[in-house]
A and B are shown apart, each in its own frame.
Chain A
């Protein structure tokens, strides 16, 4: 922290945080802020008795957030009859809420699988958090089995809107973002209260309440073309959760209900890969029936196969592929002015 350079700022941050957790777990009745700042390692060295401790108090506020971020539940207790008096507020960490339930056990196979699950994320907050969860799991001392074959799974969150949306989802903050629907010439600003972030068939979607439409909507992160901005409004998510499950179920239902037919060139890469796509069925005459969620995403995929595939139905898919190929041919035609 740049703001303080007192000589005793030498106590490392992790030592101060560790000491704070220990002190708050050990206390039965809680400690007041003043008691914490004057006695706990890392604060006491900087505490000025009877003086101005404003910067130290701010430090304590930030430390509280850092500790709560780790899933450590810090309680505040108001002494009876003294409600509203901040100076008498007592802080503590209840052992029962801190400890992982003692009957929670994991087999070696489960530890292996969780270790693998933690490697799925290689970037961003999901990676840092799953690594931390894994460290906590390892504290149980359970050995993991070596899997039969090594796995290196990797799931990305490439859209830059992912982290700000995840933060808004946690804080229940309504956000706005420019959303470009295919076929529209300009993005439109949408106001959304985020309820879930789900990855469906390789694509990240935001599920939330569209405040202008006053109804739930699903947005493709790839079509959010500018940074999401938090509004000052917060909202109450539905009781009991289940939004992610609902969003995935809706996307699945959509995927099952929409069918496209394409003709593939026998023996081509398109013939092999499209036939292997989940939900595909191969018909006579090199025709494959595909299931899909979004006509424009399927059109991108089909266009990348070029002459190996011809989109037959529905008509809007066929038109979307032709449009892409036309743009592509035009953009790569020999430049006249060169």
Chain B
């Protein structure tokens, strides 16, 4: 099938391995992948800041470019929630309301697309490590994705998944919140890291690079032994 992979700006610029892994996985499964170059951001920064007009200025481009895409896979749970859940509200009273509704139905977060749409869990990956999974809030609560990433991890050879206490508790990133209220964001991150460290895992895995950027930033600064990695990077290892 034809898959349009939307790699949002921060994944593109900071975590290219995540996008590359997704392309490789989807192509290995026999799908045709296209990655539109003209769009970079979903518009969430403006939306979350309350500047909905500025958000629409960005989002409208995404909406128009993806108008005819058959299946849109987004390389971040958070940006996925923006397209799937918040576009219909953002464009609610505009002439693009129905376009936003239509796109919403075609949007998938990566792990959910593999498991729920393609029915695939075993990608033949091998990753010899102990890992713990952090649920990114947007993927978990806006998109309702709890099971798919775990189903995928369970099939990875030599990987041991250890659930941490409060896996569903926010890591404290929250977009601009992280810099507007760094003290709260940091405290939340410390609580999250402590839960992850308790599992003695080698890696914290998530399906959202934004959470991992925040968590890794704290871990590096505090010299903690655990590392972070995106789910797709594990799934592409053979």
The reply to whether chain A is a binding partner of chain B is: no
B→A interface (CB under 8 Å): none
Chain A positions within 8 Å of B, measured between CB atoms, are: none
